Structure 1
């Protein structure tokens, strides 16, 4: 895995294109929703995972991310009237032991509205925070120094398996919300 951290609004598309020439999968993790860098990254995407904490304010931000996707689709439809950019919402930093009613309500509301939502979630784990503190991937963290490494790895593998089962080309077309 290669991590590129020097991308900005002027270089993001070049960085994505360079990475796409070297590997079959490029993951772009960006903060914020409706910024220029997000718009630029979406313009290069084949599939988008919109992350949300499952709380009221974060759900509003994931709505802004979906608006960016819809705007991109509109612009692409000039050349291809049937263009759809597949996306799915991933709930992150969830509690693996307790299911908060607010999060369950938000998730149900999204599903009822026809918004695709991952069945698996990315749980809140100390090991995920440690990756940034120690600047190491999960599989390099020592279990003696960081708790829940094994559970974090299993959690990521579950999300990864769910992602692998999604075929963006064969994904059913969702209702256009444009």
Structure 2
């Protein structure tokens, strides 16, 4: 079981797309709960469209009064719990981060997005102190070009590397298929290739992204186990 929160104080950074792409990919193999904590309810709206996998549950009506209880309840009978958070620093965001096994911070290659991502990382650090535990986090680059590495993207990557921020090895490429499945419902595999271009490339990207997240979770779990074993030996 793993709880993954998607956080960035700036709206439009790609949180919903990142959460739903990951959720539908994981739901192909196991049970997944997606908690829609965005006041605009984009994932709840998507779930009302045809084609939602039976293995994917969408939970809405989330606030600071119940977010922790909903996360904990979902974690009892789902292999993965994904939390799509609102684009602002709030109590709900802080509570969800405090429960997370991994925080994914979607980031577009824009200077303003970079500054907001730093704010998200600072919030994670504060929650680490509050809960007295390590909360693994990574930046996910979104809407990047498959062919061009912009000057802005290179600058942001250099800043993140200098700050020793983990950046996921797979990016979500700018593809119309990602927007299409959010608008039409269902999954990427269900899109009509005659109406939507680049579906197969988007599926390939989505699978690589999901695999990278699962591997990061495994690496983090192994690191925690090693740390605990070393602590036991020290005592």
The answer, yes or no, to whether TM exceeds 0.5 is yes
RMSD of aligned alpha carbons: 1.8
Q: Deviations over 1:108-134 (max 9, x none)?
A: 210121100112100111111112211
Q: Does 1:73 align with 2:73?
A: no
Query: Structure 2 stretches of 5 or more lacking a match?
Result: 1-55, 228-235
Alignment size in residue pairs: 168
Higher strand proportion (structure 1 or 2): 2
Query: Structure 1 stretches of 5 or more lacking a match?
Result: 78-82, 174-178
Match for residue 189 of structure 2 among 139, 146, 149: 139
Instruction: Give the 5 Å matches for 1:112-151.
Output: 112-151=162-201
After TM superposition, the score normalised by the length of structure 2 is 0.67
Higher helix proportion (structure 1 or 2): 2
For residues 22 and 142 of structure 1, the distance between their equivalents in structure 2, rounded to whole angstroms, comes to: 33
Give the aligned partner of residue 71 of structure 2. Answer: 16
After TM superposition, the score normalised by the length of structure 1 is 0.86
Q: Does 1:95 align with 2:135?
A: no
For residues 2 and 139 of structure 1, the distance between their equivalents in structure 2, rounded to whole angstroms, comes to: 18
Match for residue 105 of structure 1 among 129, 143, 155: 155
Is the contact made by 2:98 and 2:131 (CA closer than 8 Å) also made in structure 1? no
What is the Cα deviation at residue 19 of structure 1?
1.6
SS in structure 2 at match of 1:98: coil
Structure with larger RCO (C-alpha < 8 A, sep 6+): 2
What is the Cα deviation at residue 28 of structure 1?
1.2
